[in-house]
Amino acid sequence: MTTSVSAASAPSTAHSRGENRLGRIAFYIVCTALAALFLFPIVWTAISSVKPPPEASAVPPTFLPSRLDLGNFVKLNEYGRGVWNYVGNSAGTAVMTVIGATLLSTLAGYGFSRFQFRGKGLLFVMILMTLMIPFQSILIPLFLILTGLKLQNTLFGLALVYITFQLPFGVFIMRNSFDAVPREIEEAALLDGCSSLSMLYRVMLNIVRPGIITVGIYAFLNSWNEFLAALIFMTKETSFTLPILLTSVRSGYYGSIDWGALQAGLIVTIAPCILIFLLLQRYYISGLTGGATKG
What's residue 132's pLDDT?
Answer: 86
pLDDT band at 295 (very low <50, low <70, confident <90, very high): very low
What's residue 114's pLDDT?
Answer: 83
pLDDT band at 204 (very low <50, low <70, confident <90, very high): confident
What's residue 254's pLDDT?
Answer: 57
pTM comes to 0.82
Residue 242 makes CB contacts below 8 A (sequence gap 6+) with 83, 86, 87, 89, 90, 224, 265, 268, 269
List the Cα angle 214/279/276 in 5-degree steps.
Answer: 70
**Tens digits of residue pLDDT in 206-263:** 888 888 998 999 999 999 999 999 988 988 888 899 998 888 776 544 567 778 888 8
What's residue 223's pLDDT?
Answer: 93
Between 195 and 99, whose confidence is greater?
99
Calpha distance 54→59 (Å, rounded): 10
Calpha distance 174→196 (Å, rounded): 16
Calpha distance 186→183 (Å, rounded): 5
Least confident of 11-15, 25-29, 275-279, 281-285: 11-15
Calpha distance 42→2 (Å, rounded): 60
Residue 29 makes CB contacts below 8 A (sequence gap 6+) with none
Percent of the chain residues topping a pLDDT of 90: 25
What's residue 102's pLDDT?
Answer: 94
What's residue 30's pLDDT?
Answer: 93
Between 286 and 79, whose confidence is greater?
79
**Tens digits of residue pLDDT in 155-165:** 999 999 999 99
What's residue 23's pLDDT?
Answer: 79
> Is 289 a residue whose pLDDT tops 70?
no
**Tens digits of residue pLDDT in 43-72:** 888 888 888 878 777 777 777 787 888 888
CA 111 to chain centre: 25
Between 151 and 257, whose confidence is greater?
151
> Is 287 a residue whose pLDDT tops 90?
no
